[in-house]
Structure 1
């Protein structure tokens, strides 16, 4: 029996514990650092003054009470794309480019019907403020930056999940296309930056996502310092998992900078978005999905943490290899909103995240969504007003 137990313990897969220092803990930093060094605690990320650490669970459980006195603790969990799995690839030639895709048509109409028009179709119709430099970070599965729809405006930055520096899943490329591709993007001249935190299977970890956020924020800080223009940065994050205090803290830390903005998918579980991260961060845009008939998507999460609806059912956009595909999910509704957010940031550069959120919600089309769940959250649909 002893030999069997030793076999199972020896084969157990070690898990990481994410450690977030408690703000009110009366802990001497020198003692904390000494403890960390002695017990294999490693630095994960620092965003503004918010630090994150990680340690193997084998060390954590031996000294659990000490860790809990100094840190908020949670097991590392899996985060995945928030796209439905029933995606259908279509050929570019099958898409009627004479009319605007329905998702673009809808975001410039206060009410139905659609008419196939989108007035911001030309390059330069989104970023009109020459004193600004707006960067959009797609923290996802990566972007096929060679796709002709991006016209050279997409840049690969960093990979925190694997050794494949390309989008081997397609999700990130589809999302990026909804932000800023030539035919499908809400902002036709968006500058797109790929940060890969999810692998070929569409999944990643708490630590990979936090590292991706840290990278985007640190790059933003450097760009602000080096640029002669005023730099604004927007994060589009179409991923989700269970509730994570650490991930939420990472997102909130970026918003201390008044020139940093954030949007995340509400999720596709037809459940309360407050149960998931990063959707449960109240300070950001948490985006629900609607269809071309202004019906709430049956899968869309909802609740007090969900802020606004955006097109997210049967949405056409870019995928790797110069192709297009039709996907559904709050993964799609989020980058559509981020494309619209580029318009608002360009028009109202004096507004920080909290104020731009108020402006977008004030301008949204009200009480249009059929099937809006209960009295929680907003029955508001994204609308470009500039």
Structure 2
């Protein structure tokens, strides 16, 4: 398939010949052993002076740096080395930006409902497509489970944590860009607002942790993203092991096994990873972290007609779909809400939903399956998926209230006793192995 360069430039950069590399090792605690071994080799250049950063979390171990051909040749022959990959460029997965008017949003704690809710929230509460009556949009969410005992590590361009929309539930974790705390781009703040702000957020009480791995241009590297994952895993282990934790990755690049391996290790360390499918209208399995086996990969729909967004990646690696076109959320500049499109925007809706599921007692290992079971199946027009093979027709759904009236059974799944009674049904497993 010939990939259109114009689209690719929006969210990821092709690999180029370079001297910056990431080295993944086969076993933990072997970086120093490798360096000591290389110190004894007769060579013009030894490895140690060129190592810029070492990584270690769970069973993942590696390092990055700028290495010449002589050093790389030795590394390729070293039995401790699992893989050598260029330190690829990674970018955000948003499509456009526009300032909108301040939304009129009211929250009724008595009824666990948000009236005049943003469309992306209303779509989570409806089995049917949204109509054009903006005054009727409602978002129904559980009073008991709003994410207060869940932490989300937002690996992004930063978060403007002092925005009143976050109500003091946002804290600075780590900066890997050299820019310091805050968000000079706006992407990370917008994403975080969809996850857990008071007006635009799915999980109204969730805790947000700023892990800044992308700079003011929305660009980072494999090393900076893995640094962010490493921080999240180690911070989670060192601080609140009794709490549940999620990593939101609204970023993407071409498929990279080292990044996918980092996602796997983070998942096996107890965190849930929710990632963007990407915006290149290609098979998501050709990208990372969307192709990571242990990630929850989110594609985008346009909730005006429930069609798959024209930019959204697709295929069997996509687990669920959510609103990703003209989504309003928090503006890092503190003005009216910012409107953005992309799988960067659909991903945090699912992250917030996962936070509610985790707080209700569902385990990190089971949350992907429960998300699939609760989803609305068959709502995306088939014509929209005709040229996007093996894409699950599954829109994220929060089963509280709404038109289905599950009688306060938040994770009720209809059991088909014969012929389906409606076009829209709860989704079981897709048998796609992802």
TM > 0.5: yes
Q: How does 1:109-124 map to 2 (within 5 A)?
A: 109-114=126-131, 115-120=136-141
Give the C-alpha shift of residue 189 in structure 1: 0.7
1:236-285: CA deviation from partner (whole Å, max 9, x where unpaired): 1101112222211111111112x310001000000111111111102111
- State the secondary structure of the residue aligned to 2:150: strand
Q: Distance in 2 between matches of 1:201 and 1:161?
A: 11
What are structure 2's unaligned runs of at least 5 residues? 1-16, 40-45, 107-114, 400-409, 411-434
TM-score, normalisation: structure 1: 0.86
- Equivalent of 1:73 in 75, 79, 84: 84
Q: Distance in 2 between matches of 1:36 and 1:379?
A: 52
Q: Which residue of 2 aligns with 1:307?
A: 319
- Equivalent of 1:52 in 59, 62, 85: 62
Q: How does 1:59-138 map to 2 (within 5 A)?
A: 61-70=69-78, 71=81, 72-85=83-96, 87-92=97-102, 95=104, 99-114=116-131, 115-120=136-141, 125-127=145-147, 133-138=149-154
Give the C-alpha shift of residue 52 in structure 1: 1.3
Residue 17 in 1 paired to residue 33 in 2? no
Q: Distance in 1 between matches of 2:380 and 2:278?
A: 17
Give the C-alpha shift of residue 36 in structure 1: 4.8
Residue 184 in 1 paired to residue 186 in 2? no
RMSD, matched Cα: 2.3
Q: Distance in 2 between matches of 1:321 and 1:36?
A: 50
Q: How many residues align?
A: 356
Q: Distance in 2 between matches of 1:234 and 1:35?
A: 38
Give the C-alpha shift of residue 117 in structure 1: 1.1
- State the secondary structure of the residue aligned to 1:270: coil
CA contact (8 A) 1:343 1:384 kept: no
CA contact (8 A) 1:266 1:302 kept: yes
Q: Which residue of 2 aligns with 1:4?
A: none
Q: Distance in 1 between matches of 2:375 and 2:18?
A: 47
Give the C-alpha shift of residue 63 in structure 1: 3.5
Q: Distance in 2 between matches of 1:238 and 1:244?
A: 16
Q: Distance in 1 between matches of 2:33 and 2:153?
A: 37
Q: Which residue of 1 aligns with 2:285?
A: 274
Q: Which residue of 1 aligns with 2:248?
A: 236
Q: How does 1:182-261 map to 2 (within 5 A)?
A: 182-224=198-240, 230-257=242-269, 259-261=270-272
Q: Distance in 2 between matches of 1:161 and 1:363?
A: 38
CA contact (8 A) 2:47 2:71 kept: no
1:5-34: CA deviation from partner (whole Å, max 9, x where unpaired): xxxxxxxx97311001136xxxx9875231
Q: Distance in 2 between matches of 1:379 and 1:137?
A: 28
Give the C-alpha shift of residue 64 in structure 1: 3.1
Change (3 A) 1:90 1:52: same
CA contact (8 A) 1:44 1:211 kept: no
Q: Distance in 1 between matches of 2:116 and 2:65?
A: 53
What are structure 1's unaligned runs of at least 5 residues? 1-12
Give the C-alpha shift of residue 167 in structure 1: 0.1
Q: Which residue of 2 aligns with 1:335?
A: 348
1:186-239: CA deviation from partner (whole Å, max 9, x where unpaired): 1111111110000000101111110011001101001245xxxx2111011101
Q: Distance in 1 between matches of 2:257 and 2:172?
A: 29
TM-score, normalisation: structure 2: 0.77
Q: Distance in 2 between matches of 1:121 and 1:314?
A: 26
- State the secondary structure of the residue aligned to 1:213: helix
Q: Distance in 2 between matches of 1:36 and 1:335?
A: 44
Change (3 A) 1:159 1:271: same
Q: Distance in 1 between matches of 2:340 and 2:142?
A: 22
CA contact (8 A) 2:56 2:230 kept: yes
Normalized per residue, the structure richer in helix is 1
CA contact (8 A) 2:298 2:319 kept: yes
